[in-house]
Amino acid sequence: MKNLAKLLCLFLVSIIFTCPAFAVGDISIDKDNGIYHIILKGEKIKKKIKFVASEDLITNREAHIKGNATLTINAGFFDPKNGKTISYVVTDGITAADPMFNQALLANPFFRRNMTTVLNRSEFRVMQCGNKFQYEIVSHKAEVPFGCRLITSAQGGPLILPELRMEEEGFIVKNAQGEVTRESASVLHKTSRTVIGLKGTDECHIFIITDDNPMDLYEVQKLCNQYKLDRAMAFDGGSSTSLNYKKSIEVVSTKGDGAGRMLKSFMLVY
């Protein structure tokens, strides 16, 4: 009888530690070693995703409450000094944030020299193709597939899988000797991160890498490979890293080189 009780106890413990921290409908959330792992699974959840841009900088919590969302994370890059976007955002098929309207960005010498590169950074898309919705992680200027319509998207970068494109997307610059002379978004340093990826056609994976386990992008790439993702990219990170899930989970980063808790764009999931 005692052995049976022990086995039952071990069984219950194994369930507690292997089940997701939260699982409601098509959203599951687990946390391990300072990393929240969120999976959006199935066809139905695709039409419940919306990227939005706020006119003024607001917190992730404010966007979460205002949008009446189930899940909210931070999305694209922005200029904390003027509150203007550095990343494209499309909401309901309409461009909601366009970096070409950011005068400070246009006045930046590095941007002017590398305008094509910066404007073509990776973005996460949700498209409608006939009666089905489809995810895609591609460069901003990539054509929408024939028969599909772009519903919502947010640009970030760099691409992490299938290959890391830090230099190609202008996050690092090297001199003739191969030495890094410029770095953006602390891609080579350990900091908190917001990462989004795809596994197959029906699974969207999100990693909220907190201050408890900061990573550089080489470590993030290893993490994405461990979960066998097919494609992955970064959103804004550092102290911009944010997560709100219902009224149960809130993550606000205080470290890193992000713009702090006031943000420009968000991914809402209903």
Give pLDDT tens digits along the chain (270 positions).
545 444 444 444 443 334 456 766 699 999 999 999 999 999 999 999 999 999 999 999 999 999 999 999 999 999 999 999 999 999 999 999 999 999 999 999 999 999 999 999 999 999 999 999 999 999 999 999 999 999 999 999 999 999 999 999 999 999 999 999 999 999 999 999 999 999 999 999 999 999 999 999 999 999 999 999 999 999 999 999 999 999 999 999 987 665 668 999 999 999
End-to-end CA distance of the chain: 47
Count CA within 13 A, CB hemisphere, residue 7: 4
Residue 267's CB: how many other CB atoms inside 10 A?
26
Tell me, yes or no, whether 6 lies in a domain: no
Give 253's contacts (C-beta < 8 A, 6+ positions apart).
192, 210, 211, 238, 239, 240, 241, 242
Angle at 156 between CA 222 and CA 73, to 5 degrees: 85
- For the chain, the domain total comes to 1
- Asked whether residue 5 is assigned to any structural domain, the reply reads no
Tell me if 229 is assigned to some domain: yes
Q: Which of 154, 150, 183 is nearest to 169 (CA)?
A: 183
* Domain annotation covers residue 180: yes
The pLDDT assigned to 72 comes to 98
- Hey, how many other C-beta atoms are within 10 angstroms of the C-beta on 214? 21
Residue 187 near residue 17, CB atoms below 8 Å: no
Tokens encoding 263: 């943000």
Please report whether residue 12 resides in a domain: no
* 116 assigned to some structural domain: yes
Structure tokens at 244: 């709100």
Residue 88 within a domain: yes
Distance between CA atoms of residues 34 and 159, nearest Å: 23
> Is residue 223 a part of any domain in this protein?
yes
Separation CA 189–CA 218 (nearest Å): 9
Domain range for 27: 22-269
